[in-house]
Amino acid sequence: MQKFKDILETFEDASHVKKIILSNKDGEIVGTIKNIPGSFGSIKLYHHLCLRFGELSIDAALRGVELYSEHSEEAKNYPGKHPSIDRLFYIIEKKETLKITIIK
């Protein structure tokens, strides 16, 4: 299995992203990922998913779980430790699609 840090190196540059806002079908903001130390990996991954899928659909969430690699197993075993992965699990379970807004 490829390590998450190695997978991140294959993603597009996301240094210009200040934050990512996730909203539901009613336009209500349900999540925000800020570009702060400790969350840049999630910024890069969600930015990548946005470029590839245009939204955070079930397919995008499944791909995201795969890309988080070793962290996904840890997130399953310790809910709450990786909120960005927990969100992907939620989308898969509830079959919900979220809009991704990139703030530069």
pLDDT tens-place string over residues 7-59:
999 999 999 999 999 999 999 999 999 999 999 999 999 999 999 999 999 99
How far are the Cα atoms of 24, 26, 60, 74, 77 from residue 43, in angstroms, in the given order?
Answer: 19, 23, 15, 19, 23
User: Which pTM value belongs to this model?
Assistant: 0.95
Length of the chain: 104
Its CATH class, for the domain covering 4-103, is alpha beta
Whole-angstrom Cα distance, residue 43 to residue 45?
Answer: 6
